[in-house]
Amino acid sequence: MARFKVGLMRGVQPSRRFGLLCVLALLLGCANPAPSAKGTRPADEASSVSPSTDPSATAQVVAQNRSPGLDGSANTIAFSGRMDSPDNGDIYTVGVDGRNVRRLTSSPANEYSQSWSPDGQQIVFRSAPSGEASEQGPSDIAVVTVADLKVTFLTNDAQLGNWSPAWSPTGEWIAYSSGGPNGDGLYLIRPDGSDAHRIVEGDAEYPAWSPDGRRLAFMSLGFPAGSSSDAYEIYGVGVDGGSVRRLTNLTGEDGWPAWSHDGTRIAYTRRTSERAEDKIHLMTAAGHDDHAVTDIKDGMSYGYPNWSPNDLFLAFSAYPQTESSTAVGGIFVMRPDGSGRLMVLADGVGPVWQPLP
C-alpha cells in the first residue's frame, strides 16, 4: 500500500513520495503554522484575502470572490476542511459563489476523501482517527445523508485501512482502496455495506469511475501486484477487474484521476520532479494528448481536480509550495483550458461537485 508522507497545504516541503496526502496536512494536523496575514489569488485578476478558520469570517472573505458565469443548476461543492476544528477535518458543502458554507460531520475523527452519490443526496467519505496521516493507518468508509446529517459506516475493519471511496454513476457500487480482508487492492462495496469484494490486487488507489460505470481509473505505485515503482502512474481497469491499461507514461508522478462526464477526458494531478509544483493535467480517456492546464510559476501547487456536472469547469485545490509562501490556498474553479481561475473558499481540500438532480 502506498504512503504519502509530507504536507504541502500548510507549507511543508514535499517528499519524494508524491506527497499529495501532503495536502491532507491541512486536515490532519501534520503541519500547522500560523496562517498568512495576506495572500494573493492565483487568478486572472488578483485580490488580497485573509485566510481564517472562523466560518463567518471565511464566508465574508469568499463573498468578495464570487464566481459568476458558472452554468448549470447544481452549484454546490463538497470538501473537507477544519474551519470549526483545528485538529481534525470535517465534511462541508459550499456554493460555488463561496456562500452557504455548511458543516455535515462533526466527529472527533478526520473525515475527508469525499464523493457524492449520483442523486446528490449522500456523500461517502473516509473516517480516520484524529491525527492519523498515513494511508496505511486505520480508517473506515462512511456515508453522510445531506438532509439529516445521519452517518452510516459501510466498513468496520479500520485496522485494515479503507480509503479513497468513489460512488459509481449508477449508484450501485462504491469503489475504495483497502488493506483487506483479502489483501491490498481496489474493492467494490454496495451502498448498504454488503457484497464487498476485491477487483484489483495490489496497490490501487483513488479510483474514478467512467460515466457509464464500466471502467475505473486509479493511481498505483506498482502494478500489477508484486511489482513496484518509484513513481505513481494512472491505470484504467474494467469494473470486473479485467482489461487493465496504463494511461500515463511521462517522467514524474501522476495521480488523483477525475473522469469527465462526457467520458472523453481525464483530469489528474502531476508532479515532474521532487521539488516541482503539482500541476493539473488533462488527457483523453485513452491516455493521449496529455497537457498541463495549470503551468504557473507562482509558488502554488494545484491538485485534486473535479469536473462540474456539465464539464464546463474544474474545481480544484490550491496549496502553497513552501513554508515561506504568503499565497493563500483553498478551493478554486477554472475552465478546463486553465482560464478563468476564481477562488471559492480560502480553506478546504478535495472539492467534489454535486451531481445535477
Confidence label for 44 from pLDDT (cuts 50, 70 and 90):
very low
What pLDDT was estimated at residue 132?
A: 57
Judge whether 124 and 112 are in contact, CB under 8 Å: no
- Taking the mean position of all CA atoms in its chain, how far away is CA 110? 14
21-353 under CATH 1.10.630.10, yes or no: no
What pLDDT was estimated at residue 256?
A: 97
pTM of the model: 0.82
Q: pLDDT: is 42 or 328 the higher one?
A: 328
Rounded to the nearest 5 degrees, what angle is found at the Cα of 86, between the Cα atoms of 178 and 333?
70
Q: What is the DSSP string of 85-109?
A: -TTS-EEEEEETTS---EE---SSS
Summarize pLDDT for 310-350 with one digit per residue, the tens. Answer: 899 999 999 887 766 667 789 999 999 998 888 899 889 99
Specify which residues 306 forms β-bridges with.
315
Confidence label for 149 from pLDDT (cuts 50, 70 and 90):
very high
Percent of the chain with pLDDT over 70: 74
pLDDT tops 70 at residue 183 = yes
Confidence label for 67 from pLDDT (cuts 50, 70 and 90):
very low
pLDDT tops 50 at residue 21 = no
Q: Where along the chain do its domains lie?
A: 21-353
pLDDT tops 60 at residue 39 = no
Highest-pLDDT range among 46-50, 140-144, 229-233 = 140-144
What pLDDT was estimated at residue 320?
A: 82
Q: Rounded to whole angstroms, how far apart are CA atoms 300 and 212? A: 34
- Taking the mean position of all CA atoms in its chain, how far away is CA 203? 18
Of 41-45, 72-76, 116-120, least confident by mean pLDDT is 41-45
Q: What is the DSSP string of 185-226?
A: EEEEE-TTS---EEEEES--EEEEE-TTSSEEEEEESS-STT
Question: Taking all residues of the chain, what is their mean pLDDT, rounded to a whole number?
Answer: 79
pLDDT tops 60 at residue 8 = no
Name the one residue in this structure whose C-alpha cell is 507514461. Answer: 249
Q: What are 163's three cell numbers? A: 480509503
> Comparing C-alpha atoms, which of 211, 212, 228 is closest to residue 220?
228
What pLDDT was estimated at residue 305?
A: 97
12-to-26, 111, 346 alpha-carbon distances in Å: 10, 21, 18
Judge whether 96 and 113 are in contact, CB under 8 Å: no
* Neighbour-count burial for 62-94, b at 16+ CB within 10 Å, e otherwise: beebebeebeeebbbbbbbbbbebeebbbbbbb
What pLDDT was estimated at residue 298?
A: 76
Summarize pLDDT for 246-286 with one digit per residue, the tens. Answer: 999 888 999 999 999 999 999 999 998 877 889 999 999 99
